[in-house]
A and B are shown apart, each in its own frame.
Chain A
Amino acid sequence: MIRALLAVLLVLPVGAGAGAGETGDPAAIYSAGERATILAHGPWPPAPARDPSNAVSGDPAAIAFGGRLFEEHRLSSNRRMACASCHLSHRAFTDGQPVSTGQGPIHRNAPSVLNSGLMRWFGWDGASDSLWAASLRPLLAVEEMALGLAGTAAFIRGDAAHAADYARVFARPAAADPDETVAVNVAKAIAAWQETQVSPRTPFDAFRDALASGDRPAMRRYPAAARRGLKLFVGEGRCSVCHFGPLFTSGEFESTGLAHFRSDGRVDPGRHGGIREMQASRYNRLGPFSADRTGPRARLSRQVAVRHRNWGAFKVPSLRNVAQTAPYMHDGSLADLEAVVRHYSELDIERLHADGERILNPLRLDRRAADDLLVFLRSLSAGAGPPSASR
Protein backbone atom coordinates (compact mmCIF):
# COMPACT_ATOMS: atom_id res chain seq x y z
CA MET A 1 0.00 0.00 0.00
CA ILE A 2 2.68 2.47 1.08
CA ARG A 3 5.00 1.54 -1.74
CA ALA A 4 2.12 1.74 -4.17
CA LEU A 5 1.35 5.29 -3.05
CA LEU A 6 5.00 6.21 -3.28
CA ALA A 7 5.16 4.81 -6.78
CA VAL A 8 2.23 6.97 -7.81
CA LEU A 9 4.13 10.03 -6.69
CA LEU A 10 7.60 9.18 -7.82
CA VAL A 11 7.11 7.15 -10.96
CA LEU A 12 4.03 8.73 -12.44
CA PRO A 13 4.50 12.48 -12.31
CA VAL A 14 1.06 13.00 -13.78
CA GLY A 15 -0.40 11.22 -10.76
CA ALA A 16 -2.84 8.53 -11.76
CA GLY A 17 -6.16 9.38 -10.19
CA ALA A 18 -4.97 12.88 -9.59
CA GLY A 19 -7.97 14.27 -11.23
CA ALA A 20 -8.31 12.61 -14.59
CA GLY A 21 -11.19 14.41 -16.17
CA GLU A 22 -11.08 16.92 -13.33
CA THR A 23 -12.33 20.35 -14.24
CA GLY A 24 -12.35 23.66 -12.44
CA ASP A 25 -9.74 25.13 -10.16
CA PRO A 26 -7.61 22.43 -8.48
CA ALA A 27 -6.72 25.00 -5.83
CA ALA A 28 -10.29 25.94 -5.04
CA ILE A 29 -10.11 23.99 -1.77
CA TYR A 30 -7.61 26.48 -0.35
CA SER A 31 -8.49 29.72 1.39
CA ALA A 32 -6.54 32.86 0.56
CA GLY A 33 -4.51 32.40 3.72
CA GLU A 34 -3.76 28.79 2.89
CA ARG A 35 -2.63 29.77 -0.58
CA ALA A 36 -0.27 32.36 0.85
CA THR A 37 1.14 29.79 3.25
CA ILE A 38 1.63 27.26 0.48
CA LEU A 39 3.45 29.79 -1.68
CA ALA A 40 5.71 30.66 1.25
CA HIS A 41 7.08 27.09 1.10
CA GLY A 42 9.02 27.97 -2.01
CA PRO A 43 10.48 28.63 -4.42
CA TRP A 44 12.97 25.81 -4.49
CA PRO A 45 15.90 25.62 -4.66
CA PRO A 46 16.85 28.85 -2.92
CA ALA A 47 19.93 30.83 -3.76
CA PRO A 48 23.12 29.34 -2.33
CA ALA A 49 24.10 30.83 1.00
CA ARG A 50 27.69 31.25 2.07
CA ASP A 51 28.79 31.14 5.67
CA PRO A 52 30.69 34.29 6.61
CA SER A 53 32.22 32.54 9.61
CA ASN A 54 33.95 30.08 7.26
CA ALA A 55 36.53 31.78 5.04
CA VAL A 56 36.53 28.86 2.58
CA SER A 57 32.76 28.62 2.25
CA GLY A 58 31.95 28.58 -1.45
CA ASP A 59 35.57 28.05 -2.48
CA PRO A 60 35.70 25.38 -5.22
CA ALA A 61 39.00 23.91 -4.01
CA ALA A 62 37.68 23.67 -0.44
CA ILE A 63 34.47 22.05 -1.67
CA ALA A 64 36.42 19.40 -3.57
CA PHE A 65 38.74 18.80 -0.60
CA GLY A 66 35.78 18.59 1.76
CA GLY A 67 34.03 16.06 -0.43
CA ARG A 68 37.06 13.80 -0.27
CA LEU A 69 37.36 14.24 3.49
CA PHE A 70 33.67 13.42 3.96
CA GLU A 71 34.36 9.93 2.60
CA GLU A 72 37.66 9.49 4.44
CA HIS A 73 37.50 6.52 6.84
CA ARG A 74 40.95 7.26 8.23
CA LEU A 75 39.53 10.38 9.88
CA SER A 76 38.67 8.24 12.89
CA SER A 77 40.67 6.62 15.62
CA ASN A 78 39.71 3.13 14.46
CA ARG A 79 40.18 4.13 10.80
CA ARG A 80 36.79 2.70 9.96
CA MET A 81 34.44 5.65 10.39
CA ALA A 82 33.95 8.44 7.90
CA CYS A 83 31.34 11.18 7.99
CA ALA A 84 29.71 9.16 5.22
CA SER A 85 29.39 6.16 7.53
CA CYS A 86 26.40 7.75 9.25
CA HIS A 87 25.39 10.12 6.45
CA LEU A 88 24.76 7.87 3.46
CA SER A 89 24.10 9.67 0.20
CA HIS A 90 21.54 7.09 -0.96
CA ARG A 91 19.56 7.62 2.25
CA ALA A 92 19.43 11.40 1.95
CA PHE A 93 22.56 11.44 4.11
CA THR A 94 21.02 9.57 7.03
CA ASP A 95 21.85 6.01 8.08
CA GLY A 96 18.45 4.33 8.47
CA GLN A 97 19.15 3.47 12.11
CA PRO A 98 17.13 4.72 15.09
CA VAL A 99 20.38 5.93 16.61
CA SER A 100 23.75 5.75 14.94
CA THR A 101 26.45 3.23 15.74
CA GLY A 102 29.76 4.79 16.66
CA GLN A 103 32.74 3.83 18.77
CA GLY A 104 30.61 4.39 21.83
CA PRO A 105 26.94 4.82 22.69
CA ILE A 106 25.13 7.41 20.59
CA HIS A 107 21.68 8.45 21.70
CA ARG A 108 20.43 10.43 18.75
CA ASN A 109 19.31 9.78 15.21
CA ALA A 110 21.69 10.84 12.41
CA PRO A 111 20.25 13.97 10.81
CA SER A 112 20.46 14.54 7.07
CA VAL A 113 23.12 16.91 5.84
CA LEU A 114 21.02 17.86 2.81
CA ASN A 115 20.30 21.59 2.75
CA SER A 116 22.42 22.00 5.88
CA GLY A 117 24.05 25.10 4.42
CA LEU A 118 20.70 26.82 4.84
CA MET A 119 20.26 25.96 8.51
CA ARG A 120 20.78 28.19 11.55
CA TRP A 121 21.54 25.56 14.18
CA PHE A 122 23.06 22.11 13.84
CA GLY A 123 22.38 18.90 15.69
CA TRP A 124 19.10 17.94 17.33
CA ASP A 125 19.92 20.23 20.25
CA GLY A 126 21.57 22.97 18.20
CA ALA A 127 24.82 22.58 20.10
CA SER A 128 26.66 23.90 17.05
CA ASP A 129 25.95 27.30 15.54
CA SER A 130 27.81 26.65 12.30
CA LEU A 131 28.20 23.78 9.91
CA TRP A 132 31.95 23.73 10.44
CA ALA A 133 31.54 23.47 14.21
CA ALA A 134 29.05 20.66 13.67
CA SER A 135 31.56 18.95 11.37
CA LEU A 136 34.34 19.22 13.94
CA ARG A 137 32.22 17.75 16.70
CA PRO A 138 32.23 14.08 15.55
CA LEU A 139 35.97 14.23 14.90
CA LEU A 140 36.47 15.03 18.58
CA ALA A 141 33.65 13.06 20.18
CA VAL A 142 34.96 9.86 21.77
CA GLU A 143 31.76 7.99 20.92
CA GLU A 144 32.01 8.95 17.26
CA MET A 145 35.15 9.34 15.13
CA ALA A 146 37.32 10.14 18.15
CA LEU A 147 40.39 11.26 16.24
CA GLY A 148 40.93 14.42 18.27
CA LEU A 149 42.71 17.61 17.32
CA ALA A 150 46.21 16.16 17.29
CA GLY A 151 45.15 12.98 15.52
CA THR A 152 43.33 14.90 12.80
CA ALA A 153 46.27 17.24 12.25
CA ALA A 154 48.77 14.37 12.17
CA PHE A 155 46.68 12.48 9.64
CA ILE A 156 46.40 15.44 7.27
CA ARG A 157 50.12 16.22 7.53
CA GLY A 158 51.04 12.58 6.97
CA ASP A 159 48.93 12.00 3.87
CA ALA A 160 50.54 13.51 0.78
CA ALA A 161 47.31 14.06 -1.14
CA HIS A 162 45.43 15.59 1.76
CA ALA A 163 48.43 17.70 2.76
CA ALA A 164 48.61 19.07 -0.78
CA ASP A 165 44.88 19.81 -0.77
CA TYR A 166 45.18 21.53 2.58
CA ALA A 167 48.03 23.74 1.40
CA ARG A 168 46.10 24.64 -1.75
CA VAL A 169 42.92 25.56 0.09
CA PHE A 170 44.38 27.33 3.11
CA ALA A 171 47.46 28.82 1.40
CA ARG A 172 49.90 27.35 3.91
CA PRO A 173 51.09 23.88 4.74
CA ALA A 174 49.38 21.97 7.51
CA ALA A 175 52.80 21.58 9.10
CA ALA A 176 52.86 25.34 9.64
CA ASP A 177 49.56 25.42 11.47
CA PRO A 178 48.87 24.33 15.06
CA ASP A 179 46.95 21.08 15.50
CA GLU A 180 43.77 22.90 16.48
CA THR A 181 43.86 25.14 13.41
CA VAL A 182 44.38 22.16 11.11
CA ALA A 183 41.45 20.28 12.65
CA VAL A 184 39.16 23.30 12.43
CA ASN A 185 40.20 23.88 8.83
CA VAL A 186 39.44 20.26 8.01
CA ALA A 187 35.97 20.80 9.45
CA LYS A 188 35.59 24.00 7.44
CA ALA A 189 36.44 22.19 4.20
CA ILE A 190 33.95 19.44 5.04
CA ALA A 191 31.34 22.11 5.76
CA ALA A 192 32.07 23.83 2.45
CA TRP A 193 31.25 20.59 0.65
CA GLN A 194 28.13 19.90 2.69
CA GLU A 195 26.81 23.35 1.83
CA THR A 196 26.64 22.25 -1.80
CA GLN A 197 24.36 19.30 -1.06
CA VAL A 198 20.89 20.59 -1.87
CA SER A 199 17.85 18.37 -2.26
CA PRO A 200 16.25 18.28 -5.71
CA ARG A 201 12.91 19.73 -6.66
CA THR A 202 9.91 17.66 -5.71
CA PRO A 203 6.33 17.11 -6.89
CA PHE A 204 5.27 19.62 -4.24
CA ASP A 205 7.57 22.26 -5.73
CA ALA A 206 6.01 21.77 -9.15
CA PHE A 207 2.56 22.21 -7.63
CA ARG A 208 3.60 25.25 -5.62
CA ASP A 209 5.04 26.94 -8.71
CA ALA A 210 1.92 26.05 -10.72
CA LEU A 211 -0.20 27.60 -7.98
CA ALA A 212 1.94 30.74 -8.14
CA SER A 213 1.51 31.04 -11.89
CA GLY A 214 -2.12 29.88 -12.03
CA ASP A 215 -1.25 26.93 -14.26
CA ARG A 216 -4.23 24.65 -13.63
CA PRO A 217 -3.12 21.75 -15.87
CA ALA A 218 0.18 21.63 -14.00
CA MET A 219 -1.66 21.80 -10.67
CA ARG A 220 -3.77 18.79 -11.69
CA ARG A 221 -0.64 16.70 -12.12
CA TYR A 222 -0.28 16.83 -8.36
CA PRO A 223 -2.41 14.03 -6.90
CA ALA A 224 -5.72 15.09 -5.39
CA ALA A 225 -4.82 13.25 -2.18
CA ALA A 226 -1.62 15.30 -1.92
CA ARG A 227 -3.60 18.48 -2.44
CA ARG A 228 -5.96 17.49 0.37
CA GLY A 229 -3.05 16.52 2.58
CA LEU A 230 -1.41 19.86 1.89
CA LYS A 231 -4.61 21.63 2.93
CA LEU A 232 -4.55 19.73 6.19
CA PHE A 233 -0.85 20.54 6.62
CA VAL A 234 -1.26 24.30 6.24
CA GLY A 235 -4.79 24.51 7.64
CA GLU A 236 -6.52 22.55 10.33
CA GLY A 237 -3.48 20.45 11.18
CA ARG A 238 -1.32 23.55 11.70
CA CYS A 239 1.78 21.55 10.86
CA SER A 240 3.13 24.55 8.96
CA VAL A 241 3.31 26.63 12.12
CA CYS A 242 6.63 24.89 12.83
CA HIS A 243 7.36 23.33 9.43
CA PHE A 244 7.18 26.44 7.29
CA GLY A 245 9.17 28.17 4.59
CA PRO A 246 11.09 26.57 1.72
CA LEU A 247 12.94 24.31 4.15
CA PHE A 248 9.73 23.20 5.88
CA THR A 249 11.19 24.11 9.26
CA SER A 250 11.54 27.12 11.49
CA GLY A 251 15.02 25.85 12.30
CA GLU A 252 14.12 26.27 15.96
CA PHE A 253 13.26 23.81 18.74
CA GLU A 254 10.07 22.32 20.14
CA SER A 255 8.93 19.68 22.58
CA THR A 256 6.66 17.21 20.80
CA GLY A 257 5.66 14.71 23.45
CA LEU A 258 8.40 12.15 23.01
CA ALA A 259 10.09 10.18 25.76
CA HIS A 260 12.26 12.33 28.00
CA PHE A 261 14.72 9.55 28.70
CA ARG A 262 17.53 8.19 26.59
CA SER A 263 18.21 4.48 26.21
CA ASP A 264 20.69 4.64 29.11
CA GLY A 265 18.00 5.99 31.42
CA ARG A 266 19.32 9.54 31.56
CA VAL A 267 17.20 12.55 30.70
CA ASP A 268 18.08 14.17 27.40
CA PRO A 269 18.05 17.93 28.09
CA GLY A 270 17.64 18.73 24.40
CA ARG A 271 17.91 22.39 23.48
CA HIS A 272 18.64 23.47 27.04
CA GLY A 273 21.88 21.52 26.97
CA GLY A 274 22.57 22.48 23.38
CA ILE A 275 22.60 26.20 24.07
CA ARG A 276 24.90 25.78 27.04
CA GLU A 277 27.26 23.60 25.02
CA MET A 278 27.37 26.11 22.18
CA GLN A 279 28.02 28.99 24.57
CA ALA A 280 30.88 27.11 26.24
CA SER A 281 32.53 26.04 23.00
CA ARG A 282 35.69 27.62 21.55
CA TYR A 283 34.31 26.68 18.16
CA ASN A 284 31.24 28.88 18.06
CA ARG A 285 30.67 31.93 15.87
CA LEU A 286 31.89 34.20 18.64
CA GLY A 287 35.14 32.32 19.18
CA PRO A 288 38.69 32.65 17.86
CA PHE A 289 38.13 30.43 14.82
CA SER A 290 35.16 32.31 13.44
CA ALA A 291 35.81 34.55 10.46
CA ASP A 292 32.80 36.70 11.34
CA ARG A 293 32.13 37.43 15.01
CA THR A 294 29.85 40.44 14.54
CA GLY A 295 27.45 39.64 11.70
CA PRO A 296 23.77 38.72 12.04
CA ARG A 297 24.42 35.03 12.59
CA ALA A 298 27.01 35.74 15.26
CA ARG A 299 24.58 38.10 16.99
CA LEU A 300 22.02 35.30 17.20
CA SER A 301 24.62 33.12 18.87
CA ARG A 302 25.19 35.93 21.36
CA GLN A 303 21.52 36.68 21.91
CA VAL A 304 20.07 33.17 22.11
CA ALA A 305 18.34 32.78 25.45
CA VAL A 306 18.45 29.80 27.79
CA ARG A 307 14.89 29.29 28.95
CA HIS A 308 13.15 26.63 30.95
CA ARG A 309 11.03 25.76 27.95
CA ASN A 310 14.18 24.59 26.17
CA TRP A 311 14.19 21.44 28.29
CA GLY A 312 13.30 18.43 26.17
CA ALA A 313 12.94 20.54 23.04
CA PHE A 314 14.59 19.31 19.86
CA LYS A 315 15.16 20.81 16.46
CA VAL A 316 12.19 21.00 14.14
CA PRO A 317 13.53 18.95 11.24
CA SER A 318 13.19 19.93 7.62
CA LEU A 319 10.61 17.80 5.85
CA ARG A 320 12.36 17.93 2.50
CA ASN A 321 13.14 14.38 1.42
CA VAL A 322 11.34 13.18 4.53
CA ALA A 323 10.26 9.91 2.89
CA GLN A 324 13.93 8.91 2.70
CA THR A 325 15.00 9.67 6.24
CA ALA A 326 13.26 7.07 8.40
CA PRO A 327 13.30 6.39 11.29
CA TYR A 328 12.14 9.69 12.72
CA MET A 329 12.54 12.03 15.67
CA HIS A 330 15.69 12.84 17.61
CA ASP A 331 15.76 9.38 19.15
CA GLY A 332 14.63 7.50 16.06
CA SER A 333 11.70 6.20 18.05
CA LEU A 334 9.15 6.42 15.22
CA ALA A 335 9.90 3.82 12.58
CA ASP A 336 8.07 5.26 9.59
CA LEU A 337 5.95 8.15 8.40
CA GLU A 338 2.77 6.33 9.39
CA ALA A 339 4.03 6.29 12.95
CA VAL A 340 4.82 10.00 12.79
CA VAL A 341 1.32 10.87 11.57
CA ARG A 342 -0.13 8.57 14.24
CA HIS A 343 2.01 10.30 16.88
CA TYR A 344 0.55 13.70 16.08
CA SER A 345 -2.93 12.29 15.57
CA GLU A 346 -2.95 10.70 19.02
CA LEU A 347 -0.57 13.11 20.73
CA ASP A 348 -0.21 12.52 24.47
CA ILE A 349 -0.39 16.08 25.73
CA GLU A 350 0.52 14.90 29.24
CA ARG A 351 4.03 14.32 27.92
CA LEU A 352 4.40 17.84 26.60
CA HIS A 353 6.40 20.19 28.73
CA ALA A 354 4.13 22.48 30.72
CA ASP A 355 5.62 25.62 29.20
CA GLY A 356 5.93 24.21 25.71
CA GLU A 357 4.06 24.93 22.53
CA ARG A 358 0.38 25.27 23.45
CA ILE A 359 -1.01 24.75 20.00
CA LEU A 360 0.05 21.11 19.93
CA ASN A 361 -3.11 19.08 20.28
CA PRO A 362 -4.05 15.64 19.01
CA LEU A 363 -5.10 15.92 15.38
CA ARG A 364 -7.56 12.99 15.67
CA LEU A 365 -7.24 12.20 11.99
CA ASP A 366 -9.57 9.67 10.38
CA ARG A 367 -8.11 7.12 8.01
CA ARG A 368 -8.60 9.15 4.87
CA ALA A 369 -7.14 12.32 6.35
CA ALA A 370 -4.11 10.41 7.63
CA ASP A 371 -3.60 8.85 4.19
CA ASP A 372 -3.90 12.26 2.52
CA LEU A 373 -1.31 13.70 4.87
CA LEU A 374 1.03 10.80 4.12
CA VAL A 375 0.65 11.27 0.37
CA PHE A 376 1.46 14.95 0.80
CA LEU A 377 4.49 14.25 2.99
CA ARG A 378 5.84 11.81 0.42
CA SER A 379 5.47 14.46 -2.25
CA LEU A 380 8.21 16.41 -0.45
CA SER A 381 10.75 13.87 -1.66
CA ALA A 382 12.26 13.73 -5.08
CA GLY A 383 12.93 10.03 -5.24
CA ALA A 384 16.13 8.08 -5.05
CA GLY A 385 18.18 10.28 -7.34
CA PRO A 386 21.37 11.94 -6.18
CA PRO A 387 21.20 15.33 -4.53
CA SER A 388 21.97 18.32 -6.67
CA ALA A 389 25.00 20.48 -6.21
CA SER A 390 24.12 24.09 -5.68
CA ARG A 391 27.27 25.46 -7.19
Chain B
Amino acid sequence: MRAGLVLLALAGLATAIGGTGPARADDAPLACDGGDAHRVAGDDGAVLRYRPLPDPPPINRPFAIEVLVCADGRPLTGRLSFDARMPAHGHGTNYLPAIRPLGAGRARVGDVLLHMPGHWQAELVLRAPERAVGFRFALTP
Protein backbone atom coordinates (compact mmCIF):
# COMPACT_ATOMS: atom_id res chain seq x y z
CA MET B 1 0.00 0.00 0.00
CA ARG B 2 1.57 3.24 -1.06
CA ALA B 3 1.86 5.88 1.56
CA GLY B 4 0.39 8.45 -0.80
CA LEU B 5 -2.83 6.48 -1.06
CA VAL B 6 -2.98 6.17 2.69
CA LEU B 7 -2.53 9.88 2.97
CA LEU B 8 -5.40 10.66 0.65
CA ALA B 9 -7.74 8.72 2.86
CA LEU B 10 -6.78 10.57 5.98
CA ALA B 11 -8.97 13.36 7.22
CA GLY B 12 -7.34 16.28 8.89
CA LEU B 13 -4.03 15.70 7.24
CA ALA B 14 -1.29 17.91 8.51
CA THR B 15 -0.13 20.18 5.73
CA ALA B 16 2.66 22.01 7.40
CA ILE B 17 5.43 22.56 4.90
CA GLY B 18 9.00 22.57 5.97
CA GLY B 19 9.98 22.82 9.53
CA THR B 20 12.05 24.82 11.86
CA GLY B 21 15.59 24.54 12.98
CA PRO B 22 18.62 23.03 11.33
CA ALA B 23 19.76 19.59 12.34
CA ARG B 24 23.17 18.08 12.68
CA ALA B 25 24.15 14.49 12.07
CA ASP B 26 25.73 14.22 15.49
CA ASP B 27 22.70 15.49 17.38
CA ALA B 28 21.34 13.69 20.39
CA PRO B 29 18.44 11.27 19.80
CA LEU B 30 15.21 12.93 18.77
CA ALA B 31 12.98 13.86 21.67
CA CYS B 32 9.43 15.14 21.99
CA ASP B 33 10.34 17.98 24.26
CA GLY B 34 12.78 19.95 22.20
CA GLY B 35 16.15 19.76 20.57
CA ASP B 36 17.06 21.29 17.26
CA ALA B 37 15.39 18.81 14.93
CA HIS B 38 12.80 20.03 12.45
CA ARG B 39 9.27 20.23 13.81
CA VAL B 40 5.99 19.84 11.94
CA ALA B 41 2.64 20.32 13.66
CA GLY B 42 -0.07 17.87 12.76
CA ASP B 43 -3.72 17.41 13.57
CA ASP B 44 -5.00 16.92 17.12
CA GLY B 45 -1.79 18.24 18.57
CA ALA B 46 0.43 15.57 17.04
CA VAL B 47 3.94 16.68 16.24
CA LEU B 48 6.57 15.24 13.95
CA ARG B 49 10.22 15.74 14.80
CA TYR B 50 12.56 14.80 11.98
CA ARG B 51 16.17 15.07 11.01
CA PRO B 52 17.55 14.36 7.51
CA LEU B 53 21.01 12.83 7.63
CA PRO B 54 22.71 14.83 6.23
CA ASP B 55 20.75 18.06 6.35
CA PRO B 56 20.09 19.37 3.75
CA PRO B 57 19.66 16.05 1.95
CA PRO B 58 21.86 15.26 -1.05
CA ILE B 59 20.67 15.07 -4.64
CA ASN B 60 20.68 11.62 -6.18
CA ARG B 61 22.43 9.89 -3.29
CA PRO B 62 20.79 7.74 -0.63
CA PHE B 63 20.25 9.31 2.75
CA ALA B 64 18.19 8.68 5.86
CA ILE B 65 15.68 10.61 7.92
CA GLU B 66 15.24 10.06 11.63
CA VAL B 67 11.66 10.62 12.69
CA LEU B 68 9.68 10.75 15.92
CA VAL B 69 5.94 11.33 16.18
CA CYS B 70 4.69 12.76 19.43
CA ALA B 71 1.27 13.36 20.97
CA ASP B 72 0.69 15.03 24.28
CA GLY B 73 4.42 15.30 24.73
CA ARG B 74 5.01 11.55 24.49
CA PRO B 75 6.16 9.32 21.61
CA LEU B 76 3.36 7.85 19.56
CA THR B 77 4.12 4.40 18.21
CA GLY B 78 2.54 2.56 15.32
CA ARG B 79 3.07 1.55 11.74
CA LEU B 80 4.98 4.11 9.71
CA SER B 81 4.90 4.70 6.01
CA PHE B 82 6.87 7.23 4.03
CA ASP B 83 6.91 8.57 0.51
CA ALA B 84 8.29 11.60 -1.26
CA ARG B 85 6.93 13.22 -4.39
CA MET B 86 7.73 16.07 -6.74
CA PRO B 87 4.37 17.82 -7.06
CA ALA B 88 5.42 19.84 -10.10
CA HIS B 89 6.70 16.76 -11.87
CA GLY B 90 3.92 14.34 -11.02
CA HIS B 91 6.13 11.54 -9.75
CA GLY B 92 7.70 10.15 -6.65
CA THR B 93 10.92 8.37 -5.83
CA ASN B 94 12.23 5.33 -7.65
CA TYR B 95 13.17 3.45 -4.49
CA LEU B 96 11.16 2.16 -1.58
CA PRO B 97 12.35 3.48 1.78
CA ALA B 98 13.54 1.04 4.40
CA ILE B 99 11.93 1.92 7.73
CA ARG B 100 13.60 0.64 10.89
CA PRO B 101 12.51 1.31 14.47
CA LEU B 102 15.19 2.79 16.72
CA GLY B 103 13.33 2.43 20.00
CA ALA B 104 11.43 4.90 22.17
CA GLY B 105 9.18 5.76 19.24
CA ARG B 106 12.02 6.86 17.01
CA ALA B 107 12.51 5.38 13.55
CA ARG B 108 15.00 5.65 10.74
CA VAL B 109 13.67 6.02 7.21
CA GLY B 110 16.60 4.81 5.13
CA ASP B 111 17.46 4.50 1.46
CA VAL B 112 15.62 7.68 0.54
CA LEU B 113 16.94 8.90 -2.80
CA LEU B 114 15.79 12.16 -4.38
CA HIS B 115 16.93 11.63 -7.94
CA MET B 116 16.25 15.13 -9.26
CA PRO B 117 16.98 18.64 -8.07
CA GLY B 118 13.92 20.63 -7.12
CA HIS B 119 11.13 20.66 -4.60
CA TRP B 120 10.21 17.33 -3.05
CA GLN B 121 7.34 16.87 -0.66
CA ALA B 122 7.77 14.15 1.92
CA GLU B 123 4.72 12.40 3.32
CA LEU B 124 4.86 10.43 6.55
CA VAL B 125 1.95 8.59 8.07
CA LEU B 126 1.82 6.88 11.44
CA ARG B 127 -1.00 4.48 12.11
CA ALA B 128 -1.37 3.79 15.79
CA PRO B 129 -4.01 1.44 17.20
CA GLU B 130 -6.32 4.29 18.11
CA ARG B 131 -5.51 6.94 15.52
CA ALA B 132 -3.65 7.79 12.35
CA VAL B 133 -1.72 10.98 11.79
CA GLY B 134 -0.11 12.27 8.66
CA PHE B 135 2.49 14.92 8.01
CA ARG B 136 3.85 16.62 4.94
CA PHE B 137 7.11 18.47 4.86
CA ALA B 138 9.46 19.86 2.27
CA LEU B 139 12.67 18.17 1.32
CA THR B 140 14.79 20.32 -0.93
CA PRO B 141 18.19 18.92 -1.76
Contacts and interface: CB of A to CB of B under 8 A. Distances in A.
Interface of A: 37, 40, 240-242, 244-245, 250-253, 296, 299-300, 303-305, 307, 309, 355-359
B115 A250 contact: yes
Chain A: interface secondary structure?
loop
Contacts, number: 60
A303 B96 contact: yes
Contacts of A304: 94-96
A357 B90 contact: yes
With most chain A CB atoms within 10 A of its CB, the pick from B59, B62, B91, B94 is: B94
A303 B91 contact: no
A120 to B, nearest CB: 9
Contacts of A40: 59, 117
B91 A300 contact: no
Given A300-B62, A358-B90, A305 B96 contact: yes
A305 B88 contact: no
Contacts of A253: 94
Contact of A37 (B88, B111, B116, B117): B117
B138 to A, nearest CB: 17
A250 B116 contact: yes
Interface of B: 59-60, 62, 88-91, 93-98, 110-111, 113, 115-118
A241 B59 CA distance: 11
Contacts of B89: 357-359
Nearest to B118: A241
With most chain A CB atoms within 10 A of its CB, the pick from B98, B113, B118 is: B113
Contact of A299 (B59, B62, B90, B118): B62
A-B pairs, 10 with minimum CB distance? A358-B90, A303-B95, A252-B115, A303-B111, A303-B96, A305-B96, A250-B115, A358-B89, A299-B111, A359-B89
B97 to A, nearest CB: 7
A224 B115 CA distance: 31
B95 A357 contact: no
A303 B97 contact: yes
Given A37-B117, A357-B90, A359-B89, A245 B95 contact: no
10 contacts: A240-B117, A241-B116, A252-B60, A296-B62, A300-B62, A300-B111, A303-B97, A305-B96, A309-B91, A355-B91
A244 B94 contact: no
Nearest to B90: A358
A242 B96 contact: no
Contacts of B95: 300, 303-305
Contacts of B115: 250-252
Nearest to B95: A303
A200 B111 CA distance: 32
A333 B117 CA distance: 28
B99 to A, nearest CB: 11
Contacts of A303: 95-98, 111
Given A241-B118, A250-B60, A300-B62, A359 B88 contact: yes
Contacts of A305: 93-96
Contacts of A307: 94
A391 B59 CA distance: 27
Given A241-B116, A242-B116, A303-B111, A355 B90 contact: yes
Contacts of A250: 60, 115-116
Nearest to B87: A358
